Structure 1
Amino acid sequence: MNKKQLRTVLRRARRALSPPRRRHAAEGLRRVALAHNLLLSCRRIGFYSPTHEEINLMPLLNHALWLGKACFLPIVPQRFQRRLGFSQLTSLPRWYLNRYGIHEHWTPRPVRAWQLDLLFVPLVGFDEACHRLGMGGGFYDASLAYLRRRKVWRKPLLVGVGYECQKADEIPSDPWDMHLDAVITERRIYWAKKKGQTCVTG
């Protein structure tokens, strides 16, 4: 199947999940992340505000805040631009809906992806090699394009997030597609390279 066909099939599988299954998966995701110490060495962590279809990251985000981590959410750029900024979560009521109907957290000084230690990335589908199928907007691909030029120092650690039902046998990959370091689901973590890779801080 091509990317368009895969998006249709995998989104249909995701939409078919019942509300109890979604709640159970969100808690399962948190448990898997903590069991693998995914947050342990990371100081600045990028999350995202999930749509109603996507797995809920809020239990994991709340735990990260409880641990004292600096947590960030993406800000969609103005039209005809592609690079995401990231806003640090504060207790101030700065929420608004962007043009896609997704909650964003306003900040006058967004940070860039390379300033984060760990970035959780939404996806429509993935395979065991951690190839990612996104929605097709290109925001994350453009924001992380600099990583294709980096050979040694690479930040942040990129972890795709999805339900186990979003796993495909193979995801077609184009040269401009971002390469994930891992994918986490409610059941396990898939590592693209060696198991147990951690954040690079500093």
Structure 2
Amino acid sequence: MIPPREMSSITASSSQEAAPYHFGSENRSDLRSKIRRKRRELPHAAQARCAERLAAHLAASPLFRRSKRIACFFPQDGEIDLTRVFPRFFSMRKKAYLPVLQGKRLWFLPLEANTPLTRNKYGIPEPDLPPRSRCAPQGLDLVLAPLVAFDSAGHRLGMGGGYYDRTFAYLPHRRALRKPVIIGVAYGFQQVASLSANPWDIPLDGVVTEAGWGSDPGAPSR
């Protein structure tokens, strides 16, 4: 997996729909509000174009091709539409998983074409399957994680619930096999100059946007 400190800055897309946006030194709450509003205001046609580009970047990457168990998510609140890549999971014989709330952490349950879904307390679809179907976090190869903002150092600003940080809190303590690779998924304009990190924040191994990758996803080690 790729050291977050080696993450390069993402080149902004040349398209107008996701032009780079400057954010000042707002606190986390203000920053969340501004970026979430900008996401929601992106025209539907632009959202679709960005989603298709992101899906193409994902499917073409060595990391995606070699990963067998991949966690993904349904878009909410203007997030880039990751469902555009779902058909590629099935055609490439990947095992796709969705996060499911379990207390203050996440479980991961399989997603197939006919998987029954229910909505959690945030209105997000989850597989309606028995607990025995779940995959442990360390059993995943790749996690495509939602975010509100990110920086070139691999810091991630989420919605504030802390679910991903708590679920993958074991990663910094494992020096040998560190699974899964955690890749942030976002629009290019969600990148900011820098984010302050809390001690419990789990850094990203890379970020992919409609403009491409923010690091080398084919690197064999973290």
Fold shared by both chains (TM-score > 0.5):
yes
Amino acid of the structure 2 residue aligned with 1:107: L
State whether residues 115 and 128 of structure 2, in contact with CA within 8 Å, keep that contact through their aligned partners in structure 1.
no
SS of the counterpart of 1:49?
coil
Please give the per-residue CA displacement for 1:60-105, whole angstroms capped at 9, x wherever unaligned: 121121100011001011xxx2110011113434111111101111
Match of 1:8 in 2: 33
1:118–1:158 contact (8 Å) kept in structure 2: yes
Quick one: distance in 2 between partners of 1:161 and 1:85? 19
Distance in 1 (CA, whole Å) between partners of 2:189 and 2:116 is 34
- Cα distance in 2, alignment partners of residues 186 and 195 from structure 1: 15
> What is the alpha-carbon distance in structure 2 between the residues aligned to residue 198 and residue 107 of structure 1?
34
Equivalent residue for 1:63? 88
Figure out how many residues of one structure are paired with residues of the other and give that number. 195
Summarize deviations over 1:110-146 as a string: whole Å, max 9, x none. Answer: 1221110000000000011221000000100000001
* 1:38 shift after superposition: 3.1
8 Å contact kept, 1:64–1:71: yes
Unmatched 5+ stretches in structure 1: none
Q: Aligned equivalents of 1:187 and 1:100: distance in 2? A: 29
Matched, 1:190 2:214: yes
Quote the residue 2:42 is aligned against. 17
Structure 2 match to 1:73: 98
TM-score normalised to structure 1 length: 0.90
Q: Which runs of 5+ in 2 are unaligned?
A: 1-25
4+ residue runs over 2 A deviation: 34-38, 90-93, 194-200
The amino acid that maps onto 1:44 is R
Matched with 2:110 is 88
Q: What are the superposed Cα offsets for residues 152-199 of structure 1, whole Å, 9 maximum, x if unpaired?
A: 2100010000011111111111110011100110111112xx663258
Contact 1:117 1:199 in 2 (8 A): no
